[in-house]
Amino acid sequence: MCNQTVSLVAAELERQGIATVALQLLREIAEAVRPPRALFVPFPLGYPLDRPDDPPRQLAVIEAALRLLEQPDLRPPALASFRVS
């Protein structure tokens, strides 16, 4: 699904009271569309969890996204960056 569509769907879900975090591959789209909460991941298009067959890395991305929901002082729209190690 395209980055812009994900952002727009996330915004509507938030309006309905459902918290969301979008994984964004294109920072400029996220900055323009401003989803409620987004994690920018610096990976190639089509690979929002990074390379295939790397469960530890994929889990790290998912955990980083879910941590955005645990931050009570984080106010939408918020764009965080995944720290590649």
Q: For residue 34, what are the contacts with CB-CB under 8 A and spacing of at least 6?
A: 7, 11, 77, 79
Q: What is the DSSP string of 34-47?
A: --SEEEE--S-TT-
pLDDT of 85 > 80? The answer is no
Cα–Cα distances (Å) from 20 to 15, 16, 42, 78, 85, in that order, read: 10, 11, 20, 11, 25
pLDDT tens readout for residues 8-61: 898 899 999 999 999 999 999 889 988 999 999 999 999 999 999 999 999 999
Domain count, the chain: 1
What is the mean predicted confidence (pLDDT) over 59-71? 95
- Kindly report whether the global pTM for this prediction surpasses the value 0.85: yes
DSSP code of 50?
A: -
pLDDT at 30: 87
Full domain range(s) for residue 53: 3-81
